[in-house]
Structure 1
Amino acid sequence: MPTYRFPSPTEHRPAPANLTPDHHPTPDAPAPDHHPTPDHHPTPDHHPTPGTPAPDHLTPANLAASDSTADGSGPDEPAGPDRPDPGGAPLGDRVVAQPGRRLPAYRAVIFDFFGTLTCANRRGRQHAVVAALLGCAVEALVEVLDRSFYLRATGALGDATDTMRWICAQTGVRPSAADLRAAVEARVAAVRADTRLRPEAVTVLRAVRRRGARTALVSDCTHELPALLPRLPVAPLLDAGVFSVQVGVCKPDPAIYLAACHRLGLAPGDCLYVGDGGSQELTGATRAGMTAIRLAAADLDAHLVFNPDHGWTGPALSSLTEVLGLLDVPPLRLDVGFRAGPG
């Protein structure tokens, strides 16, 4: 199954290959709390610990000192011939400088995916199709998905097929090779069915880029999100994307945030991070050197949140559209005029 990998801007250094921690979770490791995704339901034994530190060459200080060539300014250019990245994915609309145009206070806005660019998520009925293909009860499938999220979200179980094979072993079933392949595809379809973009998501991403800032995605996710993202209208409006399943670490590990900075060619201090607060992502972004702000949309009362930022006292927004007003706010005064996020 093809997976979507965002291209790095050609003028920037390639992302380092050693973003994974020195250790990987083992199959019997406890599953941590994490940012909710459509494939996860709460269980009381999920308690994540902060990840390993970012590699020495990928730190906020080093990124701030790097000689970035990103201009990060100007409106969306009309789409020209797509230029593929080394992995073959088409490059999204480019953002280029316009003479005389004022740069935004933040050169990039980095978004969480589930619960931020999407509405609140819950697992829907299509997951029963996956269970039927595997030959197990849907309750058994859900139980395995719940307790194995961390293993799956860090890619520790292998690719999507290897991961599904491991799930089968955990549920005690042995589907045919054809049914296993079909179940992998059905998982993508089920997660896609659970994913509803916020009505304003495309408009906000486009407006951020027109104001001269770059956009990026940082998500704790399993193999399904990189597979389904190209089908979503937000995909061409993102300049970079970092998926935990591909880099081997989850939030709040600083490495996942710094990977996004590296792919954008920007220092953490140039970036505004927006998320609903799951997985202590706001605290993690702040520790990585970014300015973080919480999306506290009304629908998130029904959203599955794990390991939330209970201690977060920073600013909060009630709608994604409010992000646009922050691009001209000086970074050191971001809290002026905005309510503190809920504890």
Structure 2
Amino acid sequence: MPRFHAVLFDFFGTLTQSVRRGAAHDVIAEQLGCSTEALVDVLDGSYYARASGFFGDAESTMRWVCAQVGVRPSDAAVRAAVASRHRAVRADTRLRPEAVPVLAALRRRGVRTGLVSDCTHELPAFLPQLAVAPLLDTRVFSVRLGRCKPDPALYLAACHRLGRAPADCLYVGDGGSQELTGAERVGLRAVRLAAPDLAGHMVFNADREWDGPVLTSLTGVLDLLDPVAVG
């Protein structure tokens, strides 16, 4: 009998490999009529507002970004930039080779799985196309819930949808958005994924003081399902 009856996963940097903005983002800046540097500055500075859906849908959010950069592109250019951003974020997303095998192994053991992700509008749109999608029993997206980690609402929503108490759930993440300490505050047990590729990972508000259990590979999650304490 596993110690944990459900495992909640972060997405970027956890189920995926390290994320870095690729060259496809240059296309967005070109379509909007601004420099890539100016665009990235606004994106980085507004990450949590955008990831909580504060500015509305993807097109409204892009218009807000344009205003901050100081450009006024046509409606057609804004729509094209939204489509290009979807493609760019998708291109930056590479699942870990072990993600599908680990999720499948959890399912075989009868352990429920969930996704809890700080994200903008792109991830909910393309996640159904990914191989991990049918192996996730629930998905909580910050941009749809209107809150970002470490807000308790995200973790509690996932637990509620899975029908599991927080104490019965393990949370796995790379530590962005203070997600590990946030998970433990609401009663989950948390473990940090510190895979070697994450040294250059794009991350905001990291749990840098985390002194809890650490894994170097996602496959280590399976070892934590034995009836012994994590760490």
Report the CA distance between 1:308 and its aligned residue: 2.1
* Structure 2 counterpart of 1:328, from 199, 204, 226: 226
* Aligned residue in 2 for 1:213: 111
**What percentage of residue pairs aligned between the two structures are identical?**
69
Alignment of 1:244 with 2:142, yes or no, is yes
Report the CA distance between 1:204 and its aligned residue: 0.6
State the one-letter code of the partner of 1:258. Answer: L
Report the CA distance between 1:225 and its aligned residue: 0.9
* Structure 2 counterpart of 1:159, from 54, 57, 62: 57
1:11-22 equivalent positions in 2, closer than 5 A: none
Report the CA distance between 1:170 and its aligned residue: 1.3
* Structure 1 counterpart of 2:73, from 169, 175, 188: 175
Aligned pair count? 231
Alignment of 1:126 with 2:24, yes or no, is yes
Report the CA distance between 1:304 and its aligned residue: 2.4
Deviation digits for residues 166-193 of structure 1 (CA, Å, limit 9, x no counterpart): 1111122222222211111110100011
TM-score (norm: length of structure 1): 0.66
Secondary structure of 1:322's match? helix
Report the CA distance between 1:285 and its aligned residue: 0.4
Inter-partner Cα distance in structure 1 for 2:212 and 2:58: 37
Secondary structure of 2:7's match? strand
Secondary structure of 2:101's match? helix
TM-score (norm: length of structure 2): 0.97
* Aligned residue in 2 for 1:42: none
Deviation digits for residues 64-121 of structure 1 (CA, Å, limit 9, x no counterpart): xxxxxxxxxxxxxxxxxxxxxxxxxxxxxxxxxxxxxxx4221111000011001111
Report the CA distance between 1:131 and its aligned residue: 1.0
Look at both structures and tell me which one has the larger radius of gyration over its CA atoms.
1
Inter-partner Cα distance in structure 2 for 1:135 and 1:310: 37
Report the CA distance between 1:310 and its aligned residue: 2.7
Q: Are 1:104 and 1:212, in contact at CA under 8 Å, matched by a contact in 2? A: no
Alignment of 1:200 with 2:101, yes or no, is no
Deviation digits for residues 141-170 of structure 1 (CA, Å, limit 9, x no counterpart): 111111111110110000101001111111
Q: CA RMSD in A?
A: 1.1
Inter-partner Cα distance in structure 2 for 1:307 and 1:152: 15
Deviation digits for residues 253-275 of structure 1 (CA, Å, limit 9, x no counterpart): 11111011111111101101001
Deviation digits for residues 233-258 of structure 1 (CA, Å, limit 9, x no counterpart): 11111000111111111111111110
* Aligned residue in 2 for 1:105: 3
Name the CA shift for 1:311/1:138 in 2 (closer, same or farther; >3 Å). Answer: closer
**Comparing both structures, which one devotes a greater share of its residues to helix?**
2
* Aligned residue in 2 for 1:188: 86
* Structure 2 counterpart of 1:145, from 39, 43, 47: 43
State the one-letter code of the partner of 2:176. Answer: G
Report the CA distance between 1:227 and its aligned residue: 1.2
State the one-letter code of the partner of 1:286. Answer: E
State the one-letter code of the partner of 1:317. Answer: L
Inter-partner Cα distance in structure 2 for 1:237 and 1:301: 27
Inter-partner Cα distance in structure 2 for 1:140 and 1:296: 31
Inter-partner Cα distance in structure 2 for 1:117 and 1:149: 20
Secondary structure of 1:183's match? helix
State the one-letter code of the partner of 1:214. Answer: R
Q: Which moved more, 1:198-207 or 1:301-310?
A: 301-310
Inter-partner Cα distance in structure 2 for 1:185 and 1:247: 23
Secondary structure of 2:67's match? helix
Inter-partner Cα distance in structure 2 for 1:311 and 1:178: 45
State the one-letter code of the partner of 1:334. Answer: V
Inter-partner Cα distance in structure 2 for 1:226 and 1:329: 34
State the one-letter code of the partner of 1:226. Answer: P
